[in-house]
Amino acid sequence: MTMPLSSERLNLSINTTSGEMHAQVDVPTGVIPITDIVPVLRSLGEQAQALEVSKTLQTGKTISCQKGCAACCQRIMVPVSPPEAFGLAEMLKTLPQDHRERIEHRLTETLARLHTAGLLPLLQDLAESPRQKSDAEVDPINRAYYALRIPCIFLENDACSIYEHRPAACREYLVTSPADLCEDTEKNSVEVLHIPLRAGTVLSVLWANLTGGPVRLMPLPVAFEWAETHQDLNTQTWKGGDLFHKAMDGLGKFLQQTRAAFAHKKPGK
């Protein structure tokens, strides 16, 4: 039986582009693998997003995303950080056999479709490249993936079958425009809610700082292969507090860049 991790509850005050966020997180106090810090960063991301949602609702807008509205899950290439890739691979092994086999079957079909379309090597390169890819390099791949309309491997009956474990990118993506516009975001103008804290990006920065590699976000379909190939890196452990403080250093740099970009985009700039 796995013993529950001891943790320390921290109260944080973080200045985001959505305003001052007062957050609580439970940080593991023992020696932990990288996957144990993932829920902490996701929690921060969700609390920051809740602040933006609250601001948006006060303007009279509503959030269109609801259970059963799975348009984004039907075609978007979900980006996953290396720590999340390890966590998802571990989670998959713990699922009931029938659920796990359904996901594995959909993953096999997805990889086959990507191979046929000539996209699989490009996705694998995003996961393995020794340098950080630019937005200009990733955008055409995103568009080509979107055009294939490949449903997420975790999608069942228009709902996420691993909802509590879903990637940070899925938690952060919300829209205020009518839900039916999401059926084709290439043709329709979709109003996406501002994301004040991208937990996946912060986790990627943390991983890059720990390993000396590039900051990378890999497409979900190749994350499991990547996790298997690099399993030796998932055996490393760190003190929970030290890992959290390293993550906060990366978060600080991310927020600084985000605030600068956000200020530049304001009307009149």
The Cα–Cα gap between 178 and 167 comes to 24
Q: What is the pLDDT of residues 33-62, one digit of tens each?
A: 999 999 999 999 999 999 999 999 999 999
Work out the burial of residue 257: count CB atoms within 10 Å of its CB; fewer than 13 is exposed, 13-18 middle, 19 or more buried: exposed
Residues of the chain with pLDDT under 50: 1-3, 269
Q: What is the pLDDT of residue 104?
A: 98
For residue 160, the surrounding DSSP H or E stretch is: strand 159-160
Q: What is the pLDDT of residue 44?
A: 95
Contacts by residues 185-191 (CB-CB < 8 Å, ≥ 24 positions apart): 185/146, 186/143, 186/146, 186/147
Q: What is the pLDDT of residue 3?
A: 46
Q: What is the pLDDT of residues 79-89, one digit of tens each?
A: 999 999 999 99
- Assess contact for 208 and 253: CB atoms under 8 A: no
Q: What's the predicted TM-score (pTM) here?
A: 0.92
Structure tokens at 257: 């860049």
Q: What is the pLDDT of residue 19?
A: 93
Q: What is the pLDDT of residue 186?
A: 83
Q: What is the pLDDT of residue 182?
A: 84
For the chain, the C-alpha Rg in angstroms (whole number) is: 19
Output the CA–CA distances (angstroms, integers) from residue 21 to 44, 47, 50, in the order listed. Answer: 9, 8, 10
Q: What is the pLDDT of residue 154?
A: 97
Q: Look at the alpha carbons of 50, 200, 26, 35 in this order and tell me if their dihedral is positive or negative.
A: positive
Q: Look at the alpha carbons of 217, 219, 222, 223 in this order and tell me if their dihedral is positive or negative.
A: positive
Q: What is the pLDDT of residue 269?
A: 47
Q: What is the pLDDT of residue 252?
A: 93
Q: What is the pLDDT of residue 101?
A: 98
Q: What is the pLDDT of residue 2?
A: 46
- Helix/strand/coil for 65: coil
